[in-house]
Amino acid sequence: MKKYKKMLVLVALVATSAMFVSTDYNKYFEISKNLEIFANIYKELNTSYVDEIDPAKLMRTGVDAMLKSLDPYTNYISESEIAGFKLQVTGRYGGIGASIRKLKDRDYVVITEPYEGFPAEKAGLQAGDEIISIAGKSAKGKTTKEVSDILKGAPGDEVSITVRRPGTSKDFDVKLKRQEVKIPNVPYSGMLDDGTAYVALTTFTQRAGANVADAIEKLKKDNDVKSIVLDLRGNGGGLLKEAVNLSNVFVDKGEEVVTTRSRNVENDRSFRTLNKPLDLETPVAVLIDGSSASASEIVSGVIQDLDRGVLVGQESFGKGLVQNTRQVGYNSKLKLTTAKYYIPSGRCIQAVNYKDGKTSTIKDSLRTEFKTRNGRSVFDGAGVKPDVEVEIPEMSNVELALMRQNVIFDYATQYKLKNAEIAPASEYTFTDADFKDFEQFVAGRDLDYETSSEKELKQLEEKAKKENYYDAIKTDLEAMKQKIAADKKKDLQKNKATITRLIEREIVQRYYYQKGAVEVGLKGDPYIDAALKVLKDQQRYQSILK
């Protein structure tokens, strides 16, 4: 009987093994079959399609369509796109050192920000300058990417550009020597008051953790730092190792920061802090918003899960996916999602599921509860939720119009031409007299925007016409339109405070670059106000953590 049972077990094992072998064979057969079909279709199109086709473009279309059925973070990076990819990872590239953009209704790409200390700024180029030609070839109609690709190159190589500056009558030529440009990931650090240090981190490129640590150490050396504000707003993430390094600034050596889990268990990894921390005691507030993603969420999640500090702001983006790159030949790469990451409490903060090119969110009722080190409840299936929530009103229609139609940008360009210098960023104020000047500038522009009331009125008018009520309410509709139009003229004054903040940031950036823009933006910032309030009230701070 025992021998019979052993035979049954052996038969079952052989059958199971055969099933797995069969499954693998079927899978690889399907892959081989479909690759052959794809190659045959590609060959027939290339040989017999009625019009001439670009083989590389056709293949790229197929690759992009295939990857689109997965998630938005799995991408093919061609050889021509490698420089842009390296910039995301390292913050470095060879070029003239300026951000450029094709503004609406402009024939030429415009310099929006020369970086301090790099060729464009050294040559006197300013935000608002239009790039008319490069190396003698017209840049009219070219896209931002096309101009950017031409301007980038090996450090030391020269490039000549023709520039048109608003307010001047004659174009001028500038010869620039390309340089390795390194965009700082800590654009500004300073003291918010006598005891509160502030550090802004914009991206998790190389040395992000070390740069934040250096900034804090410098502030501690020169000031009596009693609390720290780390600003991760708008930070879309970057290198996973830098998220670990930055966490290590505030948490002890040997702490598990993040684990990654993939389809293959043997590829799962755990990342722990490796170094002695900089600071385990000073109260910390981390600022996050809906654009704080990936590595930003790891750091803020670690601070929350280990009860090391409080999070202030709005719920983060919710990206709990890990990407790696693979070489796929001819200097091109595939960036693909290989795992999900889990922070110390055990939760994954991925907020969206991707399947067959479709997205779905996780219902609140299906989210799992986890516990922080002190026993506070936190949940998976969404971004990191702040401990102190900050309500931010939506931008008004007039503010959106001023930004989208580049009115504030153009005004700042004109302001810089009229004013050779301004007060330091921390002291600069856009006065009431300045605002009157801005109103006159706006009056000379065709600022066009539609309010919510106007949209609803238009819908009412269309429905009334369909239902034959229009004649009955026509007079009332026209009267309402006129009242709204008259009141719209007061929109600048009604939104003066928030518009002034936008103008101040744009103007200060012209004189003091990114560092100045961050510094002036701290004035009247509701996130900063909320962080200072909780850090100053240590009883509340401790009660949140416990």
- Whole-angstrom Cα distance, residue 29 to residue 164? 61
Secondary structure of the chain: what % helix, strand, coil (to 5)?
A: 45, 20, 35
For the question of residue 289 being annotated catalytic, the response is no
Q: What tokens appear for 512 in the block?
A: 């003091």
- Going by the DSSP 8-state scheme, the letter that residue 204 receives in this structure is B
CB 117 within 8 A of CB 140: no
Phi first, then psi, for residue 413 (nearest 5°) are -60, -45
Asked if 306 and 374 count as a contact pair (C-beta separation under 8 A), the reply is: no
Selecting among 129, 305, 387, 491, the annotated active-site residue is 305
Q: CA 167, CA 30: separation in Å to the nearest integer?
A: 65
Query: What is the widest separation between alpha-carbon atoms in the chain?
Result: 104
At 224, list the tokens.
């009596």
Residues 17, 22: Cα–Cα separation, whole Å = 8
Joined tokens for residue 172: 């001028």
Q: Is the dihedral of CA 523, 524, 525, 531 positive or negative?
A: positive
Token output for 205:
């490129």
Query: In angstroms, rounded to a whole number, what is the distance separating the alpha carbons of residues 300 and 230?
Result: 10
> Cβ-count burial of 304 within 10 angstroms (0-12 exposed, 13-18 middle, 19+ buried)?
buried
Tell me how many degrees the CA angle 487-489-493 measures, rounded to the nearest 5: 100
Catalytic member of 148, 189, 227, 294: 294
Number of H helices, E strands in the chain: 17, 23
Radius of gyration over alpha carbons of the chain, in Å? 29
Angle at Cα 521 formed by Cα 516 and Cα 524, nearest 5°? 145
Residue 319 known to be catalytic = yes
Active site residue 291: no
366-372 long-range CB contacts below 8 Å, 24 or more apart? 370/305, 370/345, 370/346, 371/345, 372/304, 372/305, 372/306, 372/307, 372/345
Cα–Cα distance measured from residue 472 to residue 476, given in angstroms and rounded to the nearest whole number:
9
Number of residues assigned to the chain: 546
Active site residues: 294, 305, 319
